């Protein structure tokens, strides 16, 4: 049995976990000899630390978004490693010790990192030849932050060609170890209806991001002028307050949904809608782009999402409504202007044309190659 260890970070639901689950599901369906295990490395080290860090993170980005974005860019986005600025460097031996203990316990044959922090710890161990387990970085944003381990990591699944060039030129990583996979999504979302989707007389909008609070959704409907020209499905996530509030409105054209964990159910909803309004998180955006659905954003979290948005806008893959006082006219025009829809679909096709191989197919090749090498060594 080949043991594959998958390492996101934090227990809260995130794109790191969605990618981890998608790849684990694929591997276990594809190979009878593969057993996958997902571990939140921070909780493994210390559950109290994980809870404290996640709470501080959420409070910080909501109460002081500008300072969070500034610190994020200074410490994580730039090329220069400045871990010591946040006093993590003295803690690195502790995390290295915990990582070694975990690997001794789990005895993985292969490791997949969907978050930068476990990747950095593994990079430090591999650089000193303390471990020799193959490690793959699976990037879940449209950029590569400075925390990811790079040179000592065996394989890199990157979101686009620019990221591949960055790893080759700045970090001297051989191109054979880098695959442009896009940001991985579950295979369910890779299927789409044939041809361009038509837009009904009453377009159906999927509004996501309910976990961010009640105010964000209320502001969206205010800026839609209370119009019923559209039909709405609102993803409330685990926000029960928002779910109950929308039910109290008793508006037949607005339907709230609680947290949807089933990929098939989410895919059916994607296939029903004419447009998606969401935050620029790497994984959700990638799901929507795979479905070729027009994509709008009304706001974004500082740090990762703000940097993602800059890339997506530069490629014409998202419509940013955040600077508008009213949204209705812009959304209506995009959905009913055939030339604009055609241009959007062409830009999405251009983005996917640079993909060399899906993350699933790339992992399949790596697993088969690793299994073959193990058989040779065992003879």
Share of the chain above pLDDT 90, in %: 61
Q: Answer for the pair 371, 2: CB distance below 8 angstroms, yes or no.
A: yes
71: Cβ contacts below 8 Å, ≥ 6 apart: none
Please tell me whether residue 157 adopts helix, strand or coil conformation.
strand
Do 157 and 91 lie in one domain? The reply is yes
pLDDT at 203: 94
The CATH number linked to 56 is 3.40.50.2300
pLDDT at 99: 92
Regarding predicted confidence, which is higher, 274 or 212? 274
How many whole angstroms from its chain centre is CA 1?
Answer: 29
Do 166 and 265 lie in one domain? The reply is no
Q: How confident is the model at residue 62 (pLDDT cuts 50, 70, 90)?
A: low
Structure tokens at 194: 């044939």
Instruction: State how beta strands 110-113 and 2-7 pair.
Output: parallel
Do 64 and 41 lie in one domain? The reply is yes
Do 308 and 365 lie in one domain? The reply is no
Do 61 and 194 lie in one domain? The reply is no
Q: Is the pTM above the cut of 0.85?
A: yes
Number of alpha carbons in the 13 Å side-chain half-sphere of residue 136:
29
The CATH number linked to 234 is 3.40.50.2000
Phi-psi category of 182—alpha, beta or left, where left has phi over 0 and alpha has psi -120 to 50?
left
Q: Does the pLDDT at position 231 exceed 90?
A: yes
pLDDT at 82: 47
DSSP character at residue 34: E
Do 285 and 153 lie in one domain? The reply is no
Do 244 and 342 lie in one domain? The reply is yes
pLDDT at 48: 60
Do 256 and 282 lie in one domain? The reply is yes
* Section 244-253 average pLDDT: 92
Share of the chain above pLDDT 70, in %: 82
| pLDDT, the chain, mean | 86
Regarding predicted confidence, which is higher, 65 or 180? 180
Condensed to tens digits (0 to 9), the pLDDT of residues 106-141 reads 999 999 999 998 999 999 999 999 999 999 999 999
Do 144 and 201 lie in one domain? The reply is no
Domain that holds residue 24: 2-182+355-378
Q: Does the pLDDT at position 341 exceed 70?
A: yes
pLDDT at 217: 79
Domain tally, the chain:
2
Do 117 and 242 lie in one domain? The reply is no
Do 272 and 338 lie in one domain? The reply is yes
Biggest CA pair distance of the chain: 71
> What is the Cα–Cα distance from 148 to 17, expressed in whole angstroms?
17
Condensed to tens digits (0 to 9), the pLDDT of residues 174-224 reads 999 999 999 999 999 998 765 445 555 789 999 987 565 555 778 888 898
Q: How confident is the model at residue 371 (pLDDT cuts 50, 70, 90)?
A: confident
> What is the Cα–Cα distance from 159 to 154, expressed in whole angstroms?
17
Range 141-145, long-range pairs (CB < 8 A, 24+ positions): 141/15, 141/183, 141/282, 141/304, 141/307, 141/308, 142/183, 142/282, 142/285, 142/307, 142/308, 142/311, 142/312, 143/77, 143/307, 143/308, 143/311, 145/76, 145/77, 145/116, 145/304
Do 307 and 178 lie in one domain? The reply is no
Structure tokens at 50: 């994980």
Quick one: which of 204, 263, 262 has its CA closest to 234? Answer: 204
Mapped to the 3 state alphabet, what secondary structure does 292-323 carry? CCCEEECCCCCCHHHHHHHHHHHCCCCEECCC
Buried b / exposed e over 160-197, threshold 16 CB at 10 Å, is beebbebbeeeeebeeeebbbbbbbbbebbeeeeeeeb
256 strand-pairing partners: 234
pLDDT at 85: 42
Q: How confident is the model at residue 289 (pLDDT cuts 50, 70, 90)?
A: very high
Q: Does the pLDDT at position 165 exceed 80?
A: yes
Q: Rg (Cα) of the chain, in Å, rounded?
A: 21
């Amino acid at each position: 049995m080949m043991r594959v260890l998958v390492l996101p970070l934090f227990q809260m639901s995130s794109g790191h976990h969605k990618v981890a689950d998608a790849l684990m599901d694929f591997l276990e369906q594809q190979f009878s000899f593969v057993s996958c295990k997902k571990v939140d490395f921070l909780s493994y080290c210390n559950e109290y630390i994980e809870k404290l860090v996640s709470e501080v993170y959420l409070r910080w980005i909501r109460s002081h978004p500008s300072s969070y974005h500034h610190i994020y860019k200074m410490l994580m986005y730039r090329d220069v490693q400045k871990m010591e600025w946040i006093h993590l460097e003295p803690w690195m031996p502790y995390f290295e010790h915990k990582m070694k203990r975990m690997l001794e316990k789990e005895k993985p044959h292969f490791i997949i990192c969907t978050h930068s922090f476990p990747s950095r710890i593994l990079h430090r161990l591999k650089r000193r030849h303390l471990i020799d387990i193959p490690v793959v970085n699976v990037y879940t944003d449209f950029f590569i932050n400075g925390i990811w381990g790079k040179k000592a990591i065996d394989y890199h699944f990157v979101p686009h060609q620019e990221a591949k060039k960055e790893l080759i030129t700045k970090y001297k990583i051989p191109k054979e170890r880098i695959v442009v996979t896009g940001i991985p999504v579950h295979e369910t979302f890779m299927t789409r209806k044939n041809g361009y989707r038509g837009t009904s007389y009453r377009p159906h909008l999927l509004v996501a991001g309910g976990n961010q609070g009640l105010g964000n959704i209320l502001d969206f409907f205010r800026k839609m002028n209370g119009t019923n020209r559209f039909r709405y499905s609102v993803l409330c996530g685990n926000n029960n307050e928002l779910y109950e509030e929308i039910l109290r409105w008793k508006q037949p054209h607005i339907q709230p949904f609680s947290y949807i964990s089933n990929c098939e159910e989410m895919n059916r909803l994607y296939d029903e809608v004419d447009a998606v309004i969401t935050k620029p998180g790497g994984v959700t955006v990638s799901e929507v782009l795979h479905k070729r659905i027009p994509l709008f954003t009304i706001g974004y979290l500082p740090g990762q999402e703000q940097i993602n948005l800059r890339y997506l806008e530069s490629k014409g893959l998202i419509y940013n409504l955040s600077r508008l006082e009213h949204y209705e006219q812009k959304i209506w025009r995009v959905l009913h202007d055939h030339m604009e829809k055609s241009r959007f679909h062409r830009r999405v096709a251009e983005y996917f044309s640079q993909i060399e191989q899906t993350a699933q197919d790339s992992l399949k090749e790596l697993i088969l190659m690793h299994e073959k090498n193990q058989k040779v060594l065992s003879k």
